[in-house]
């Protein structure tokens, strides 16, 4: 599962959030805002992807601070390291590594963040325990999960999924569908002051082609890559038909994603 996730994100690194529709960008900035980084702080951003949370964190901690980004996918790490260099963010250090057991000095961070990552962890409580140990006493955690997926998007992915030869292993989004499920994991490992906030984001596509390409630019790629070659066009046609349900009065296609932002503190 881990190798499969790394492969999918590695192959999507070049197009991740680069195709036009805004999705991870605003969601990552919102996570960074809730994490409330202060100048000079040391931050660990797990599953940093293309840096949509990491870059705003780095800007906030400034050159006296430090942000370590860790991701399983080498393509994500290379692209984000490049981007940080181009922006002159010398406080950023991006490495290939496993968020489930980050290889960092215990107690060495003021803040740990993980945007849309906990559901990839084979044992989420064990991972959360490792995140707690990376923090100094009093250090903060800020993570995001999906509170709800757009019903039109969910239906669309079911329509496409019906063309797959067999069921695929999927990230376990459903484990964290409720705020209580996130609280339970964080409580279990000893986090305190667990709080949640829910924000709905609109994502607009210029048309079916852009939406289809976008699905392949992130974790949805796992589904598209598994379509048998001789079924791709049928799957695409069925998907385009399903997309019509998301048509807005002004002719665009839009989905609405409810994101949960959770903050907590190490005692």
Among 36-44, 93-101, 189-197, 205-213, the segment contacting ligand SAM (CB under 6 A): 93-101
Q: Measuring CA to CA, which residue among 53, 39, 44 is closest to residue 139?
A: 44
Does 76 sit near ligand SAM (CB under 6 A)?
A: yes
Look at residue 185 and give its three-state secondary structure: helix
Q: Which of residues 1-30 bind ligand SAM (CB under 6 A)?
A: 2, 5, 9, 24, 28
Q: Of the candidates 35, 58, 100, 246, which one interacts with ligand SAM according to CB under 6 A?
A: 100
Token pair 């370590």 in the structure block, residue: 68
State which H helix or E strand residue 133 sits in.
helix 124-134
Q: How far, in Å, are 116, 144, 228 from residue 46 at the CA level? A: 10, 11, 33
Angle at 71 between CA 68 and CA 148, to 5 degrees: 110
Q: How far is the CB of 98 from ligand SAM (least distance, A)?
A: 5
Q: Contacting ligand SAM (CB under 6 A), which of 79, 81, 117, 130?
A: 117
Q: Minimal CA–CA distance to 124: which of 140, 141, 107, 111?
A: 141
Decide if residue 70 touches ligand SAM (CB under 6 A). Answer: yes
Q: Is 235 in the site for ligand SAM (CB under 6 A)?
A: no
Candidate residues 30, 53, 89, 255; the one interacting with ligand SAM per rule CB under 6 A: 53
Q: Of the ranges 112-120, 180-188, 198-206, 254-262, which one interacts with ligand SAM (CB under 6 A)? A: 112-120
List the one residue out of 49, 47, 35, 89 whose CA is nearest residue 65: 89
Question: Can you tell me which residue has the tokens 């080498």?
Answer: 74
Contact pick of 44, 60, 68, 73 for ligand SAM (by CB under 6 A): 73
Query: Which of 32, 35, 48, 156 touches ligand SAM by CB under 6 A?
Result: 48
Distances (CA, A) of 49 to 31, 72, 132, 237: 14, 9, 21, 30
Number of residues binding to ligand SAM, judged by CB under 6 A = 23
Q: Look at residue 138 and give its three-state secondary structure.
A: strand
* Two tokens, residue 45: 């951003």
Nearest residue to ligand SAM, by Cβ distance, number only: 49
Beta carbon nearer to ligand SAM, 82 or 233:
82
| Residue 120 found at the interface with ligand SAM (CB under 6 A) | yes
Question: Of 125 and 238, which has the nearer Cβ to ligand SAM?
Answer: 125
The residues of the shown chain that bind ligand SAM, judged by CB under 6 A, are: 2, 5, 9, 24, 28, 47-49, 52-53, 70-73, 76, 98-100, 115-117, 120, 219
């Amino acid at each position: 599962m881990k190798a499969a996730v790394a492969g999918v994100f590695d192959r999507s690194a070049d197009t991740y959030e680069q195709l036009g529709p805004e999705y991870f960008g605003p969601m990552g900035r919102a996570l960074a805002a809730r994490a409330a980084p202060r100048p000079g702080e040391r931050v660990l951003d797990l599953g940093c992807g293309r840096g949509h949370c990491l870059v705003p964190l780095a800007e906030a901690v400034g050159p006296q601070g430090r942000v370590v980004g860790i991701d399983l996918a080498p393509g994500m790490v290379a692209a984000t390291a490049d981007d940080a260099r181009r922006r002159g963010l010398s406080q950023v250090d991006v490495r290939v590594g496993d968020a489930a057991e980050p290889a960092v000095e215990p107690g060495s961070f003021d803040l740990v963040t993980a945007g849309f990552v906990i559901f990839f962890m084979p044992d989420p409580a064990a991972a959360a325990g490792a995140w707690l140990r990376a923090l100094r006493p009093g250090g903060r955690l800020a993570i995001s999960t999906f509170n709800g997926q757009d019903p039109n998007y969910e239906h669309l992915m079911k329509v496409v999924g019906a063309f797959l030869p067999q069921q695929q292993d999927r990230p376990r989004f459903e484990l964290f569908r409720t705020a209580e499920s996130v609280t339970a994991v964080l409580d279990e490992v000893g986090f305190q002051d667990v709080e949640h906030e829910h924000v709905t984001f609109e994502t607009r596509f210029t048309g079916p082609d852009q939406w289809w390409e976008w699905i392949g630019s992130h974790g949805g790629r796992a589904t598209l890559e598994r379509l048998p070659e001789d079924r791709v066009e049928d799957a695409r046609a069925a998907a385009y038909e399903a997309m019509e349900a998301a048509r807005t009065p002004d002719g665009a296609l839009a989905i609405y994603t409810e994101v949960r932002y959770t903050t907590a503190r190490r005692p």
